[in-house]
Copies of this chain bind each other. A is one copy, B any other.
């Protein structure tokens, strides 16, 4: 057995990928497609065997179980998207801009790796015990980053909204994309990210206060008195 048998991909150290690593990555890629199309439970090891061109028994040289295979796919996908996000967020910026970076990073990766992200979103609950908790930790970290970004925005502009609902609504908008996005019909990731960012950012910028009916100028004047906040919402 070559290199580190449990690694799904070349590590962060500059170790060149061995034959084992490359084959592993190949299998992971094919398995991702199969899981995406048929679902984790619906996909059989024989389906994976067919898709990879490797014998049924041969697969078990790389994975000790079907469950661990799903785990490796999900972990690699999630780790990658978090790593990319952190890199992009290193350059400081306006809170609004940072949230737009978050959305863009998510959607870009989502649409470039649609199968993997669908497997991540759609099979989020099937992993139990050890696998489940390790993945939940990454998920929580990603969630916390988004919460942090929104809280920045909140404090810097004196906004008032439920961070929890906002974050989860945003994830909903973004993750649901795997059910409808069609590259032949829908715009590129950057445009989609901008449109979703427009909707979301304007929404939270106005917080939980009731949205006023048209031509109701009276109470609007009263509420919008304090300074230069909420510019995100005005055209």
Which residues of A line the B interface, CB within 8 A? 39, 41-42, 94, 96, 122, 124, 126, 157, 161-162, 164-166, 168-169, 171-177, 179-180, 186, 192, 194-217, 220, 223-224, 228-235
Contacts and interface: CB of A to CB of B under 8 A. Distances in A.
Contact of A199 (B39, B174, B203, B232): B203
A202 B203 CA distance: 5
Nearest to A223: B235
A224 B224 CA distance: 16
Q: How many copies does the complex hold?
A: 2
A211 B233 contact: yes
A16 B172 CA distance: 41
A163 to B, nearest CB: 11
20 contacts: A39-B39, A96-B211, A96-B213, A162-B195, A165-B192, A172-B172, A172-B173, A172-B177, A198-B210, A199-B200, A202-B203, A202-B205, A202-B211, A206-B234, A211-B232, A211-B233, A213-B232, A224-B234, A230-B235, A233-B233
Given A207-B235, A212-B235, A233-B233, 7 more contacts: A165-B196, A169-B199, A198-B210, A206-B233, A212-B232, A215-B228, A223-B235
A36 to B, nearest CB: 10
Contacts of A94: 213
Nearest to A156: B214
